[in-house]
Amino acid sequence: MARLAGCLCVIASPLALFGAAGAGTGTNPAAFVGVSVAPVTLPDPSVVITPGGNTSDPFVIKVGGIYYMFSAQAAPLGPSVPLMVSTSLTSWDLTPVEAMPILPSWSAPGFTWSPDVRALDGHYTMWFSAAVAGGEYKCIGVATSSSVTGPYVSSSPHPLVCQFGDLGSIDPRTFVDPEGRLWLLWKSDDNADLAASTHTTIYAQQLSSDGTRLLGSPRALMTADLPWEGRIVESPDMVYAAGRYWLFFSGNWYNQPAYAIGVAACLGPTGPCEPTSSGPWLGSNAQGSGPGEESLFFDGSRWWMLYAPNSAGYDSLTRRPVALARLTFGPNGPAVVAPGTAAWDQGDPHPVIVGATGPAKKPRAGPICTSTQLQTSCGVR
């Protein structure tokens, strides 16, 4: 691994970076064995909450009773990081505002996505993907703001993570573990070379308490190796629920009906992680094909998952609304609650949960040891 001017540049083989099982997590290895999660079979597993919108890579944070949804840039001249607001979670003002009006100097305009936001050390920190100016790579940056609505400012002249040997790094998501440590997850962008046969890998690395610096070394959690994944695992999001670490991810090409959401069980924040089945957990359904780019959050009593389905006849102008699914976690892993049922509004049966954007200990202030065919009723094609 080489570190260039403040940017993480990993050139080692992913196999050399897989973490020791459960290192520093205190997790019982026996709890990692034999985890099998049933796939979602509901024909209508979610509610489309931005009908007619083009809102990929959705991410929600709740602050003071208000929900804030950040998403990918939808048009070259549109907001770099669109932000929408809601008081009900299911009804949104679909006119976004700009959360990051000035991009960092290292990035090129017109291609910003996968924002992730947390309140840390008295401010808000955002991680995001962007194209590198004058180059072929796409990398991960970090920006801060005194307000959840922005403006977010990135003062670094270099990206936070950029694996040049893997054609870049994208799809950042953060996770706070039960010990209060903050982690960054992302995927290598090996599939950027369409003619190659290399497979992408999901990584994790510890962050400083303010989220702006990497600590220790990256650990590879899993590499695409199942037939349904194609060459790609991406959009990672880790949560700790019902006594286990769960890694949600998307597999295959995002613009194909084969795109789907998978779930892996992990021994800890640094892995190892193993898929809970040989197929996807949530695949194409009656609401739309190609669900993916998921993110999870906990609103104080309930788990939710947002994702963006694709249409079967995908083209560059396809609108991709946000779908909202209600999740629960139990001994058999995550499950989706059918919309319109009483359980949709009920609190989670396992409320002591850490991770995602849900309740978590504040990151330590001192030194940290490093070790589609869419739902036609919405009028969307």
Judge whether 171 and 235 are in contact, CB under 8 Å. yes
Whole-model pTM? 0.85
3-class SS string, 93-162 = CCCCEECCCCCCCCEEEEEEEEEEEEEECCEEEEEEEEEECCCCCEEEEEEEECCCCCCCECCCCCCCEC
- Structure-block tokens of residue 361: 């200990």
Give the three-state DSSP class for 30: helix
Contact between residue 93 and residue 107 where contact means Cβ atoms under 8 Å apart: no
Q: Cα dihedral angle (252, 258, 259, 263), rounded to 10 degrees?
A: -80
> How far from 365 is each of 26, 148, 208, 209, 368, CA to CA, in Å?
21, 21, 9, 6, 8
Give the tens place of pLDDT for each residue, 53-67. 889 999 999 999 999
pLDDT along the chain (381 residues), means of 10: 39 37 40 78 93 90 96 92 95 94 96 96 96 93 98 96 96 97 98 94 98 97 97 97 95 92 97 95 89 94 92 52 94 94 84 44 25 22 18
In DSSP terms, 161 is beta-bridged to: 8, 140
Residue 315 neighbours by CB under 8 Å, 6+ apart: none
Q: What three-state secondary structure class fits 318?
A: coil
- Give the closest residue to 297 by CA, choosing from 146, 116, 145: 116
Hey, what CATH topology would domain 33-374 get? Tachylectin-2; Chain A (2.115.10)
- Work out the burial of residue 96: count CB atoms within 10 Å of its CB; fewer than 13 is exposed, 13-18 middle, 19 or more buried: buried
Spatial neighbors of 9 by CB under 8 A, at least 6 apart, are 1, 2, 3, 162, 163, 164, 165
Could you read off the pLDDT of 74-133 as tens digits, one per residue? 988 899 999 999 999 999 988 999 999 999 999 999 999 999 999 998 999 999 999 999
| pLDDT value for 287 | 82
How far apart are alpha carbons 350 and 332 in whole angstroms?
A: 13
